[in-house]
């Protein structure tokens, strides 16, 4: 069972019971399509932010690690 599948199931359960929910970061179109089919009520939000701003806000240091080739 993949992490994406588990997140999808949790979203589906919450939606079924009337609980608004957000699943952040879904880089693959196929996964988003599967979630859209399973959950029903699905809103996709695209956030456009310059890389420099993302790096400034990156509390986990993931952008730095990516720049250094560690990710």
Catalytic residue among 9, 15, 26, 34: 26
Closest CA to 6 of 42, 37, 35: 35
Other Cβ atoms within 10 Å of 11 Cβ, number? 19
Q: Which residues contact 41 (CB under 8 A, 6 or more apart)?
A: 15
For residue 62, indicate whether it is catalytic.
no
Active-site annotation, residues: 26
């Amino acid at each position: 069972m993949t992490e994406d599948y588990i997140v999808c199931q949790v979203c589906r359960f919450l939606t079924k019971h009337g609980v608004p929910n957000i699943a952040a970061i879904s880089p693959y179109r196929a996964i988003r399509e599967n979630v859209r089919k399973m959950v029903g009520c699905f809103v996709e939000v695209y956030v456009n932010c310059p890389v420099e701003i993302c790096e400034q806000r990156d509390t986990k240091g993931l952008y730095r690690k990516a720049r250094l080739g560690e990710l």
